[in-house]
Amino acid sequence: MPEIYDLHCHSTASDGALSPTELVQRAQCKGVTALALTDHDTTAGLAEAAQAASEIGLRFIPGIELSALHANQCLHIVGLNIDPLNPVLLAGIAKQHAIRESRARKIADKLQKKGIEGVYEAIREKSGDGEITRSHFADFLYQHGIVTSQQDAFDRYLSKGKPAYVPTQWAALEEVVHWIQAAGGVAVMAHPLRYNLSQKWMNRALAAFKTAGGQGIEVVTSRISADEIRFSQQCCQRHQLHASVGSDFHTPDNQWVELGRFPPLPSDVKPVWTLF
Ligand code: AMP
Ligand code: MN
Ligand code: MN
Ligand code: MN
């Protein structure tokens, strides 16, 4: 039986709705046979997920989704098949955690100036010791009736140019790729179409990524069109990158994004899992 891979998803260790155990169990129910958990800038969910996966006979690949800066643009780099205990990676994660905490407090301060009080404390309590992302702020604003949806929260408060946007100095792209490589992992550029980069800037970003040691790009994700797959496929060929697949699942509440649910990888790309 061929494996069914899903190499990008989130748990309560960052902005996912399910615990690592629930996530692994849901993945198996949805037909996934090999799963990578890739929480934002944290490996905190990996031990629990690995344990749950081994109990039900699911192949588990330890992963992470790191935020990185290149040419003033935030890019998401997925690290796959990493050693979660590698000291270089752990030091990098500690830096990202400090950045996330200080950013979360700044976002909360900006919301306070708009008359929305106590957001940081509420989110911190709800997320336990998980990493705080802008999704948490979007959920708060939605649950308090301040916006009409998560998307509305980004459109009105959290996106670039909006009142609660905080420019963030994530680690440089090269540095992030280095952490992943030091941990024995494969670095993959996540959801290339979500950055709204022109072809020229995408090529520049991918060239820098490849030079830094990047090895893959997500070609198939949730809700992707045939044209979009072709675009990423061409990026693979032009930059000699392997192809990855991942749902970027966050919550069962989003009916459009489900574990393991995306089109097949085109046959003429090299799957990233041949590297691990
Ligand atoms: P952060 O890494 O803290 O900037 O948060 C990024 C997370 O927020 C992403 O992983 C998504 O889960 C979510 N997100 C970003 N942009 C949007 C958007 N326009 N609508 C809904 N969710 C978004
Ligand atoms: Mn997220
Ligand atoms: Mn992402
Ligand atoms: Mn993600």
Average pLDDT over every residue of 217-228: 97
Query: Tokens standing for 184?
Result: 């024995």
For ligand 2, the distance from its centroid to the CA atom of residue 129, given in whole angstroms, is 16
In sign, the C-alpha dihedral spanning 76, 77, 78, 83 is negative
Residue 99, pLDDT above cutoff 90: yes
Cα–ligand 3 centroid distance for 76 (angstroms): 5
Mutate to test the pocket of ligand 1, among 10, 11, 133 (most ligand atoms within 8 A of CB): 133
Q: What does the pLDDT average to over 1-13?
A: 96
Measured in angstroms, how far is the CA atom of residue 218 from the centroid of ligand 3? 11
Q: Which ligand does the CA of 192 lie closest to?
A: 3
**DSSP assignments along 119-188, one per residue:** HHHHHHHHHTTSPP-HHHHHHHHHHTTSSSSHHHHIIIIISTTSTT-----PPBHHHHHHHHHHTT-EEE
- Whether residue 135 has its Cβ less than 6 Å from ligand 1: yes
Closest CA to 188 of 226, 216, 221: 216
For all residues of the chain together, what is the average pLDDT? Answer: 98
Dist. CA 132–CA 163, nearest whole Å = 19
Query: How many angstroms does the Cα of residue 39 sit away from the middle of ligand 3?
Result: 9
The minimum-distance atom of ligand 1 relative to the CA of 132 is: 3
C-alpha distances (whole Å) from 205 to each of 69, 222, 224, 230 are 10, 22, 21, 18
The total of other beta-carbon atoms located within 10 Å of residue 171's CB is: 20
- pLDDT, tens digit (0-9, with 9 covering 90-100), for 231-255: 999 999 999 999 999 999 999 999 9
pLDDT for 199 beyond 90: yes
Query: Is pTM beyond 0.75 here?
Result: yes
pLDDT for 12 equals 98
pLDDT at 10: 99
Averaged pLDDT, 116-128: 97
Q: Is the pLDDT of residue 1 over 90?
A: no
Give distance in angstroms: CA of 251 to centre of ligand 4: 11
Quick check: CB of 258 below 6 Å from ligand 1? no
Angle of helix 134-143 relative to helix 87-113, nearest 10 degrees? 30
Examine the pLDDT at 167 and tell me if it is beyond 90. Answer: yes
Residue closest via CA to ligand 1's atom 9 equals 135
> Best of 100, 135, 168, 247 to mutate for ligand 1, by most ligand atoms within 8 A of CB?
135
pLDDT at 50: 99
Ligand 1 atom with the smallest distance to the CA of 40 is 2
* Res. 268 pLDDT band, cuts 50 70 90: very high
Cβ of residue 151 lying under 6 Å from some atom of ligand 1: yes
Atom of ligand 1 nearest to the CA of 133: 3
Residue 43 has pLDDT above 90, yes or no: yes
Does ligand 1 come within 6 angstroms of the Cβ of 154?
A: yes
Q: Of all atoms in ligand 1, which is nearest to the CA of residue 74?
A: 4
Q: Is 67 in the pocket of ligand 1 (CB under 6 A)?
A: yes
pLDDT band at 274 (very low <50, low <70, confident <90, very high): very high
